[in-house]
Amino acid sequence: DPFRIEITKIQFPNEQKKIEQELSKNKKAVVYGIYFDFNSDKIKPESKQVLDEIAAALKDNPDWKLTVDGHTDNIGGDAYNLDLSKRRSASVKQALITQYHIAPERLSSTGSGVAGAIDTNDTIIGRSHNRRVELTRQ
């Protein structure tokens, strides 16, 4: 069929191991792509690819221990956002333990709330940059 179109997604090794490379080189990786509903700590299914990548980095480097640090934008009060960021990072930690069988002693979680903003909270784009997870190698 001359009009048949086939779409293929090619994953390059570098792209696939970006989190692992960042953690190896800088002991820190800023992670986007872990999604939650508004005001929720329940991880959405579309986060699977990023969780897969984090788990793969941990499995490739069995001596690594990571801290998962949740960050939020400034929508809502500071105390609420601090609590939400802690609950979200705990959800990421729990997913890595239960779904990927990462040993619990290799993971810790914390939340920074609005503190540590890396962009302005005055724009939609800026706020989206501030809603993130940071991984730090210990």
Q: How far is CA 94 from CA 5, 36, 83, 112, in A?
A: 41, 14, 16, 18
SS3 letters for 97-137? HHHHCCCHHHEEEEEEECCCCCCCCCCHHHHHHHCEEEEEE
Output the pTM of the full model: 0.85
Q: What is the pLDDT of residue 12?
A: 47
CA separation for the pair 32, 76 (Å, rounded): 21
With a cut of 90, say whether residue 115 has pLDDT above it.
yes
CA separation for the pair 50, 47 (Å, rounded): 6
> What would the pLDDT profile of 81-99 be if each residue is shown by its tens digit?
999 999 999 999 999 999 9
* Residue-range domains of the chain with CATH: 38-128 (3.30.1330.60)
Contact 131, 39 (CB under 8 A): no
**pLDDT over 90 for what percent of the chain?**
78
Q: What is the pLDDT of residue 89?
A: 98
With a cut of 90, say whether residue 14 has pLDDT above it.
no
